[in-house]
Structure 1
């Protein structure tokens, strides 16, 4: 069992941040002709359970089935026994694993335990049966429960992080090689890590040969590199760069390590080297697409595209600012190019280069290479735009992260990114570049690799948090179902009605890419102070407490309370107005307005408004002791509709 960690409270996500808990009656089921699953919960707290039942159209002729859930490399298995009365397999998933990272569990397979009809229904088979596996993900969340304050010690949810960090550039390259090529490699590419241009063009070459990149000095080979070459045991070592980059003496030393054949690809300059690499790649994969960057100032931009070029098995071409070198142009015009991309802005790569390439590129009808320039204000924005354009998928196998001021790490990471089908993100070592936020908030990754040293831990933590499949977006809203547990609220209905409504609000907001923290997702008691503390610990953008009213059956309607300090205008008043208007647009309740209430000393009267740092409101949705109001909320579907309307008011405020 992994050791639990104490986390700082500022800006971190809560135990209840996830899809809402769903009872069987509330769960959206797959009404397939072949399989139907009822899942009690889509979010559980550490040590909790989730009931599940599965029914099949076909008689499986089995007394039990085994359901396997997988999270990263951890498996949860549970046996579901057949209930002849319900004609379904029923059981409980026990979440008895203490996770180190965020746990989003996904159905891996269902094993039919039968002598007559034994079989394993894997993901492909379940999809064929009509099952949308995403509907049955379960998020396991937990807090450090042996510490006194829940709000101050909340486990941050994040994708797992693996550090490939050596004591220097050479050892970092070795750790990357060991991660991606555990069983050795038939080929190996060697560069001088101080020569960025050669490293950029080497990544696609390494990809063609499914080879790692190791670094050496101009005149020496560190022992850690020699040992890694022995482990890899390549039959061929390819040096990238001329003898002024890696000397003949080093070449001879490489040949003597394990008697591998050593070849060299190097030109008279970096432009010529990139051409020779492209020609070598063309012997393995027909060059139809090229990625061009200026060979000096633009080599920084080209770092961002090297991994994508490697995945396509297409070359990175280094060019001059105003023209493609003659030898390179003459070769490319005979290659039958179908596409080209230009990495870098006009200050490094003139439009004249695009003109030249456009003349020799036969793009598909309706397309134009002039639309294929990608660049930003600096190297970080260019990197972000490359990731956005060339990695549009929401789900990534990994995100590799390296410093943007130390490009050697990003270079040697390229071949690993190729193997993983994943980008290399570069960012300053002490903060996350603002240009990366949109990408990170829109994507999730199964793993974050830190490449190289010197990166501030908070930067890696922020990236891993944003890439968690658990977290939806950049905005966080705390939804607080009023009362609960031993505190039933008004008319003995309020605690249940607030939970039903809040779960619906949560589901709506998460569908709109908003993070939602629920102060409670079951019928349990939470103090007023804890509710505010959770919001403050989260650094929430908004806090919404859901309630219902009563007054001897005589009063009716909806009203929303907001912070007194915003009485002349402010976010909490705007939030209150938007929520109330949204409710009244769907429900024929009396409009009781948006209000403030204070103590004699002028403080906000309500504790959760007074103690919560974020703009906070209390929604008094209706009067449960009024027969007219109650009739509009007396079914679960009506309360779900109310929750959606509250969610729409919150959504409008966040825009």
Structure 2
């Protein structure tokens, strides 16, 4: 039996920040909604023992191709890798429904894509009354490469089915969760409890598709449910006690994590302001495995990445 782990899901929250692409409902922004959705989906998948990576923190903005490449770089050692870029759609204010764009070179991924769409529609339609499965589609350039950089990155820009299938990513998607310029669908997507419901439905479909029970990845793969809390050989934080000092947060929202690593669960957010740091650690700050300084908050709630803070003299 292969010693590869069964499944890695790499989730790309589309765009960056909290105020990109306003919707039909006041206060809705695609960038914030899909980031929140991605956090909920990550938690729902990890609850099932599935390994998950996010391509960015809330205010990070890696390149589109780079986001897809994170799945390639991290996917070796897994029997299956799913890359999905989360978005909401826009057209003319009247269009509605859920669609998935997949890599043109991974046709076998269409079945899972349709199951994901059906699960999202099942959550949304009772409230919106209009949401439906718009289907799975592809788009390519004149040379045959996938059109969208984020999809192209996950198959390393390959232009043939055979070449693409030689890579670790066999499920490569952009997921459009309804239209944010449609009043009814945007209203639904504006509520956190609805984003949680979509995330749970997607996680259940993915786990079922790959035969993963609620007990997690079993057999030689081993249960991965606690991996991110315990760290790995390349993600073991080095902690150093420090005399308490003040930092000023420069971003609107900064994740507070249980442990000093981007792979640990988010337990809340800070706003802009001044906070006291009582301890420092060196830990992973992005999906590429780069490390930087983290600081423990005096409140005891958790750790923040100090790349987004400045020390107050």
TM-score (norm 2): 0.54
Q: Of 468, 471, 475, which residue of structure 1 is paired with 2:7? A: 475
Q: Higher relative contact order by CA 8 Å / sep ≥ 6: 1 or 2?
A: 2
State how far apart, in whole Å, the 2-side matches of 1:489 and 1:556 are. 17
5+ long unaligned stretches in structure 1: 1-433, 442-472
5+ long unaligned stretches in structure 2: 126-130, 156-168, 212-313
Match of 2:104 in 1: 564
Residues 652 and 597 (structure 1 numbering): CA distance in 2 closer, same or farther, change over 3 Å? farther
CA shift, 1:555, in A, is 0.8
Q: Of 485, 488, 498, which residue of structure 1 is paired with 2:20? A: 488
Match of 1:522 in 2: 58
Q: Of 141, 146, 161, which residue of structure 2 is paired with 1:604? A: 146
Tell me the C-alpha RMSD between the 2 structures.
Answer: 2.2
Matched, 1:554 2:115: no
Structure 2 counterparts to residues 53-452 of structure 1, below 5 A: 434=1
Higher strand share: 2
Matched, 1:628 2:168: no
Matched, 1:573 2:115: no
CA shift, 1:635, in A, is 1.0
State how far apart, in whole Å, the 2-side matches of 1:605 and 1:644 are. 29
State how far apart, in whole Å, the 1-side matches of 2:39 and 2:18 are. 20
CA shift, 1:606, in A, is 1.2
Matched, 1:506 2:38: no
Q: Could you say what secondary structure the match of 1:648 adopts?
A: helix
Aligned pair count reads 184
CA contact (8 A) 1:486 1:525 kept: no
TM-score (norm 1): 0.27
Match of 2:137 in 1: 595
State how far apart, in whole Å, the 1-side matches of 2:20 and 2:60 are. 10
Residues 487 and 538 (structure 1 numbering): CA distance in 2 closer, same or farther, change over 3 Å? farther
Matched, 1:618 2:174: yes
CA contact (8 A) 2:8 2:50 kept: yes
State how far apart, in whole Å, the 2-side matches of 1:490 and 1:561 are. 22
1:471-497 C-alpha deviation (Å, 9 max, x unpaired) = xx6421101111113982454701101
1:274-333 C-alpha deviation (Å, 9 max, x unpaired) = xxxxxxxxxxxxxxxxxxxxxxxxxxxxxxxxxxxxxxxxxxxxxxxxxxxxxxxxxxxx
State how far apart, in whole Å, the 2-side matches of 1:574 and 1:495 are. 27
Q: Could you say what secondary structure the match of 1:619 adopts?
A: strand
1:374-425 C-alpha deviation (Å, 9 max, x unpaired) = xxxxxxxxxxxxxxxxxxxxxxxxxxxxxxxxxxxxxxxxxxxxxxxxxxxx
CA contact (8 A) 1:608 1:616 kept: no
Q: Of 636, 642, 652, which residue of structure 1 is paired with 2:198? A: 642
State how far apart, in whole Å, the 2-side matches of 1:490 and 1:611 are. 27
CA shift, 1:602, in A, is 2.7
CA shift, 1:533, in A, is 1.9
CA contact (8 A) 1:578 1:652 kept: no
Over alpha carbons, which structure has the higher Rg? 1
CA shift, 1:543, in A, is 0.5
State how far apart, in whole Å, the 2-side matches of 1:646 and 1:521 are. 21
Q: Of 506, 529, 533, which residue of structure 1 is paired with 2:69? A: 533
State how far apart, in whole Å, the 1-side matches of 2:63 and 2:19 are. 10
Residues 479 and 487 (structure 1 numbering): CA distance in 2 closer, same or farther, change over 3 Å? same
CA contact (8 A) 2:100 2:113 kept: yes
